[in-house]
Amino acid sequence: MSSFRRFSSRWHQAPLRGVLVFPVVLQLLLSVGLAGYWALQSGKGAVNTAVEKLRREISNQIIQKLNSYLSPPHIINRLNIQAVRQGMLNVNSMTNLEQHFWRQAQAFDQVDFIFFGSANGEFAGGGWPQGRDRPLQITRLGVTQPGLLQFFDIDINGNPTQMTLETANFDPRDRTWYQDARQARRPMWSEIFTFQAYPAMAISACAPLFDGEGQVIGVFSNNFFLTRISHFLESLEVGRTGQTFIIERSGEIVASSVLAQPFRIVEGETERISLSESADPVLQATGAYLRSHSFTLQQSTTQALEIRLNRETYFVQLTPFQDHYGLDWWVGVIIPESEFMEPLQGYQSTLLILCLSTLTLSLLVSFYTSNWISRPVSKLSRAAQAVSEGQLNQHIPSSQIRELNRLGESFNAMSRQLQESFQELQYLASHDSLTQLANRHTLAKQLTQIIEKCRQNLTYRFTILFLDLDNFKLVNDSYGHLFGDKLLVTIAQRLQSHLPNAALISRFGGDEFVILLEGIETVSDATQLADTLLQVVAQPLSIDGHELFITASIGIVLSTVGGTQPNQFLRDADTALYRAKVEGKDRYEVFTQEMHAATTQRLTLETDLRHGLRRGEFEVYYQPIVALASQTIIGFEALVRWHHPLLGLVSPAQFIPIAEETGLIVPLGNWVLDQACQQMHEWLQSNPDRLKFISVNLAAQQFLYPDFLAEVDRILATTHLQPCALKLEMTESVMLRKLEISQARLRRLRQSGVQISIDDFGTGYSSLGYLHQFQVDSLKIDRSFVERLSPNLSDQSIVRAIIGLAHTLNIDVIAEGIETRSHFELLLDLGCQYGQGYLFSRPLPANQMTQLLQQSAKLRISDC
């Protein structure tokens, strides 16, 4: 013992490598010295190692081969889909597809039969549908009768030589490969299937083909015969008598190296079998073992088994095989123990004695060494466990082992860094990284606590101010996002400097800030603070040498409105903010329940508007435009009406603004234009000399839409309406929205013969320069001027000026909103050529307007 202590003292502060290596080397020298003489008699441990290595190598070899076999089918589908998208392959021509498929099948040895099923029930295929030991074939569906699938042998040019097989009532859309691919909407493998016409098993690689709108228009697929895998398994050498197999998770056999046919034929039909149903006794025993030992094939890791059959032990390894397209198989390797144990059984006793002797000595040496190392390592382990549980203030004392001592020092440094990083992460998790304000998570947490406090104390009050910068996107677009970030930081600092210390201000996102205030008792207190903040934001800013002014809008919600969740209060504050934006910006609005109701109603109306477009709830009404001198109808204005299934006739003043905000005005306006042109063409057929034009209003989004001119050309072409019979109305503000684009489009329209009219003239940017610049055909006097007409000359001045200006520029004038005979006579005296209004007729559906046209060419206004 004293000599052992002297030996250990020499290792005081020794390198860790020396401490670990010396005992291991000592053990290995002793073990190898004792076991080297008996190397050839290494025993069952060596057998297990050899068996495991062989099983692993065979399994890996099978999996590699499976990957090489099973990759090309999906590559072929991808190539075909890419060819369709590039216009190189036409899925609407089954002849084109079958020619492509039989050539492609010859180019790829890994697939036997390539085919395509379309969404309308068409089918084409080419290759070897019955295996490569049969002639090359193509398939045709419905050639002689619907639903009859025929298989034809072909010559070297792809021409059918003879029909070899027929299948009735075939519809590709009923096949599982089509339905599964359509439902999954991604490339996948089909279920393994058997053929009824001949004994074989195969699997299909399927890939759906989508159109531009994401709809499935067909499925590409190709068959892979599983006999290829069985032939490969037969070629593998697994010892002298070993064997291999592949099964599905269900236990059914996919391929086997010993079964000529891994299926059975019952009454002429091919049926799949499981391991326990096979003819091979070893496979039967394997299947029985899996059942009797409750082995689940749903596991996902490699499994090593031992089975007994006729006093023989067999080593079985099951390795999972999966791919990206849904395959989920087990690869099995079976090796009999006798192939490895025969030369070793006589030496097991001696090997066991040697191993026990070596192990005993190794344990004695290792015990002291591990005890010496384990104490500081255990301390380090306990400290690391404490850190993982959140106790970051840990310290490791110094160790006698140099490496462990350095490790302890590194751990202590890491512990300090973790404490600092955790504190920093806590800050970042609760604050906005740009403005250093509280973030949305902190706001929600604080608001939840305040709501709970309010629930417990009914007299407690709080207020939320939802602030959003006006036209902030314009700043970003003009100066860049870095400039915008600096602006946000400046605004955040201003807001902080003018808020109570107890207030919580958070950056909600983008240019939105939410301010949470406790103790605000009245609406006036909240609005007074909001006024102050609006003034603070509106003060001039100087950033990077640029001076600018910016305003904000604020939505205010008080706790007295009720609510139990943070999202409710934030939603209400946002609703009030939206109202402030709508009312002109640079202002605040206090939330009321009526706002929420209005917002909900508007959202409902928007949803109904979308449904209404699809369900055909809209109708075009027509109001006649009359030549005032003759009182005859010379044209119409098309006006859209919405027949809501629950609300009845919805006013355009309600749904047109919503359509403009959501962009639905473009399809709605195009539909109105199409309907109006169709109707005008019909009326011109029966009234070719009386009618001159149909007038259709345009919204700014519709007029500036990229495809607008093409849409007008299409509608005129499909409705056969002459361009000169179409008059497009728009306000001056629409024309000035994008001046250069507007001018180009107006020139293009007028060159094609379409007339242009300015609507609501006198209420917008009325200008002689614009009239001359846009070269319009007519203008409409807004109804507000017509309503104020009287014999008094001062009331006539604006209308007289507009008419005189238009006549000077050779522009027709149409007065709208004529409702009294007095207005009619005054306009006639002032020289107005045309007019419309209830005095002549209210807007009517097309059928009623047709009846009005048939009654008389001249309207009798005295009866109106």
CATH classification of the domain holding 233: 3.30.450.20
From residue 77, give the alpha-carbon distance in Å to each of 65, 88, 104, 224.
Answer: 20, 14, 11, 13
Is the same domain home to 748 and 724? Answer: yes
Three-state SS annotation for 233-292: HHHCCCCCCCEEEEEECCCEEEEECCCCCCEEEECCEEEECEHHHCCCHHHHHHHHHHHH
CATH classification of the domain holding 86: 3.30.450
Decide if 379 is inside a domain: no
The CA-CA-CA angle for residues 673, 676, 680, to 5°, reads 140
Identity of residue 467: L
Decide if 361 is inside a domain: no
Decide if 2 is inside a domain: no
Decide if 421 is inside a domain: no
Pairing of strands 149-154, 137-141: antiparallel
pLDDT of 29 over the 70 cut: no
Is the same domain home to 148 and 234? Answer: no
pLDDT of 132 over the 80 cut: no
Please give the residue that has the higher pLDDT: either 371 or 813: 813
Is the same domain home to 777 and 667? Answer: yes
Within 8 A by CB and 6+ apart from 554, the residues are: 465, 466, 467, 468, 530, 533, 534, 577, 580, 587, 588, 589
Is the same domain home to 638 and 582? Answer: no
Decide if 102 is inside a domain: yes
Per-residue pLDDT tens over the stretch 708-763: 999 999 999 999 999 999 999 988 777 777 778 888 899 999 999 999 998 878 66
Per-residue pLDDT tens over the stretch 751-807: 999 999 988 786 655 555 556 667 789 999 988 899 888 888 776 888 898 898 889
pLDDT of 22 over the 60 cut: no
Cα 386 from chain centre: 43
Q: Residue 624: what pLDDT? A: 96
From residue 478, give the alpha-carbon distance in Å to each of 184, 535, 581, 586, 617.
Answer: 46, 24, 21, 20, 43
What is the largest distance, in Å, between two alpha-carbon atoms of the chain? Answer: 136
Decide if 21 is inside a domain: no
DSSP string, 345-400: GGGHHHHHHHHHHHHHHHHHHHHHHHHHHHHHHHHHHHHHHHHHTT-----PPP-S
From residue 451, give the alpha-carbon distance in Å to each of 55, 441, 454, 559.
Answer: 65, 15, 5, 8
Q: Indicate the pLDDT class of residue 307, thresholds 50, 70 and 90.
A: confident
Query: Under a CB-based contact definition with an 8 Å cutoff, are residues 771 and 809 in contact?
Result: yes
CATH classification of the domain holding 584: 3.30.70.270
Gap between the Cα atoms of 122 and 97, Å rounded: 11
Is the same domain home to 126 and 212? Answer: yes
Q: Indicate the pLDDT class of residue 505, thresholds 50, 70 and 90.
A: very high
Is the same domain home to 198 and 320? Answer: no
Is the same domain home to 549 and 648? Answer: no
Is the same domain home to 690 and 806? Answer: yes
The CA-CA-CA angle for residues 670, 673, 678, to 5°, reads 130
Average pLDDT over residues 677-695: 93
- Helices H / strands E in the chain, number of each: 27, 33
Highest mean pLDDT among 429-443, 512-526, 678-692: 678-692
Decide if 353 is inside a domain: no
Question: Among 182, 199, 219, which residue terminates a domain?
Answer: 219
Q: Residue 323: what pLDDT? A: 87
For residue 42, give both structure tokens: 């290494």
The fraction of the chain above a pLDDT of 90, given in percent, is 30
From residue 43, give the alpha-carbon distance in Å to each of 177, 312, 340, 654.
Answer: 52, 17, 10, 91
The domain in which residue 535 lies consists of 431-591
Q: Residue 863: what pLDDT? A: 42
The CA-CA-CA angle for residues 640, 643, 647, to 5°, reads 130
Question: Among 313, 345, 377, which residue terminates a domain?
Answer: 345
Is the same domain home to 630 and 573? Answer: no
Is the same domain home to 321 and 439? Answer: no
pLDDT of 523 over the 60 cut: yes
Is the same domain home to 681 and 625? Answer: yes
The closest of 103, 81, 84, 104 to 93, measured between CA atoms, is: 84
Per-residue pLDDT tens over the stretch 838-859: 999 999 999 999 998 888 656 6
Phi, psi of 129 (to 5 degrees): -65, -20
Decide if 184 is inside a domain: yes
- Domain total in the chain: 4
Identity of residue 251: G
Query: Under a CB-based contact definition with an 8 Å cutoff, are residues 513 and 496 in contact?
Result: no
Mean pLDDT over the full length of the chain:
83
Per-residue pLDDT tens over the stretch 189-232: 988 887 655 677 889 999 999 998 999 999 999 988 888 888 88
Average pLDDT over residues 7-20: 53
Is the same domain home to 586 and 635? Answer: no
Q: Indicate the pLDDT class of residue 662, thresholds 50, 70 and 90.
A: confident
